[in-house]
A and B are shown apart, each in its own frame.
Chain A
Amino acid sequence: MEEAKPKAQLDREFSDLYRAHLRDVYSYSYYRIGNHHDAEDLTEQTFLQAYRHFERAQRESDGRPLRPWLIRIAHNLAANYYRDRSRKPTSALEDAGVVPAPHDTERVVEGRDDLKRILTGVDQLPDDRREALIMRFALAMDNREIARAMGRSDGATKVLIHRAIRQLEEIVAQDGGEPVAHEDRKG
Chain B
Amino acid sequence: MTASDSDFEVLVRSALRPVEPPEELAGRLEDALVNLTEMAADELESWELGAMRDPRNWVRPVAAVVVGATAGTALMVLRVRSRRRAQSTGLRRAVGRTARDAAEQARRAVSPR
Q: Which residues of A contact B (CB under 8 A)?
A: 6-8, 10-12, 14-15, 18, 22-24, 26-27, 30-31, 36, 39-40, 43-44, 47-48, 51-52, 96-97, 99-103, 106, 109, 114-115, 118-119, 122, 133-134, 137-140, 165, 168-169, 180, 182, 185-186
Contact = CB atoms under 8 A, between A and B. Distances in A.
A22 B28 CA distance: 12
10 contacts: A7-B71, A15-B78, A22-B29, A23-B20, A31-B16, A99-B19, A109-B14, A115-B14, A137-B12, A137-B16
B5, B16, B66 — most chain A CB neighbours (10 Å): B16
Contacts, number: 144
A122 B37 CA distance: 39
Interface residues of B, number: 43
Interface in B49-98: 63, 66-67, 70-71, 73-75, 77-78, 98
B108 A133 contact: no
A31 B45 CA distance: 42
Nearest to B17: A101
Contacts of B21: 22-23, 26, 40, 43
Contacts of A52: 105, 108-109
Interface of B: 4-5, 7-22, 25-26, 28-30, 32-33, 36-37, 63, 66-67, 70-71, 73-75, 77-78, 98, 101-102, 105, 108-109
B15 A122 contact: yes
A134 to B, nearest CB: 6
B25 A102 contact: no
Given A106-B13, A119-B15, 16 more contacts: A6-B66, A14-B33, A40-B22, A44-B28, A97-B15, A106-B14, A106-B17, A114-B15, A137-B9, A137-B12, A137-B16, A140-B18, A165-B8, A165-B9, A165-B12, A182-B4
